[in-house]
Amino acid sequence: MEQPKSKPQPPNNSEGATPVTIRPAAAADLVSVLAIEHDSPSAAQWKNSDYAKALNEPTRLFLVAEEEADNRVIGFLVASTATEEWELENIAVSPAARRRGIGRALMNALIQQAQHRGALEIRQEVRVSNSAAQNLGRSAGFLPEGRRKGYYRNPREDALLFKYLTRTRQVRT
């Protein structure tokens, strides 16, 4: 299904921020995606081939955030969309571009797609120590769901589970 481009909401502290476009990822973006992941140790660490595969899978949503001024890719998000329960698998923003609302813009685009395509919920697991990702999720409307003990390795750590209920789900229940 064609994924529409969307403009991020301006961040709260948007003074001087340059506009960004959220669009589906393409093969030419993979170098930037891997560089951002490399600079983001708390992101899920995937192989190049995993991202390449995700580009062509109909059951994955793979978005990038592109700086309009110079077309640089400065963030990305990958989600599994196989069932009515979507899962946010990875999200990262280039360290130099953080706290500009890019992460929230990617999350908003994910939520918009999930609503549009009839998903009931979006799940996310986050390391207990990753307060930036937890706060980003909360600010986008994700709710805490529980905790999975010792879920992560290197270092071993609990996962906090979050869930976003789409409008479809809210109407059904």
Ligand X SMILES: CC(C)(COP(=O)(O)OP(=O)(O)OC[C@H]1O[C@@H](n2cnc3c(N)ncnc32)[C@H](O)[C@@H]1OP(=O)(O)O)[C@@H](O)C(=O)NCCC(=O)NCCS
Q: Minimum distance between the CB of residue 52 and ligand X, rounded to whole angstroms?
A: 20
State both tokens at 129: 């120590």
Beta-strand (E) ranges in 25-135?
Answer: 60-67, 73-80, 85-93, 121-127
User: What crossing angle do the helices spanning 48-56 and 30-38 adopt, rounded to 10°?
Assistant: 130
> DSSP secondary structure string, 83-115?
SSEEEEEEEEE-GGGTTSSHHHHHHHHHHHHHH
Q: Judged by CB under 6 A, does residue 139 bind ligand X?
A: yes
- Which residues on adjacent β-strands are paired with residue 6? 22
> What percent of the residues of the chain are helix, what percent strand, and what percent coil, each to the nearest 5?
30, 35, 35
In the complex, what is the shortest distance from the CB of residue 139 to ligand X, in angstroms, rounded to a whole number? 4
Q: How far is the CB of 65 from ligand X (least distance, A)?
A: 8
Scan residues 107-126 and list those touching ligand X (CB under 6 A).
126
The residue within the footprint of ligand X, chosen from 135, 143, 148, 167 (CB under 6 A), is 135
Cβ closest to ligand X, residue 42 vs residue 59: 42
Min dist CB 1 to ligand X, Å, is: 25
Does the N-terminal peptide bond of residue 4 adopt cis geometry, omega within 30 degrees of 0? no
Residue 21 engages ligand X in binding (rule: CB under 6 A): no
| Residue closest to ligand X when measured from CB atoms | 103
Which positions from 35 through 54 interact with ligand X, judged by CB under 6 A? 40, 42-43
Tell me the window of 25-33, 111-119, 133-141, 155-163 that interacts with ligand X (CB under 6 A).
133-141
Rounded Cα–Cα distance for residues 62 and 80 (Å): 9
The residue ranges that bind ligand X (CB under 6 A) are 11-12, 40, 42-43, 91-93, 98-104, 126, 130-133, 135-136, 139
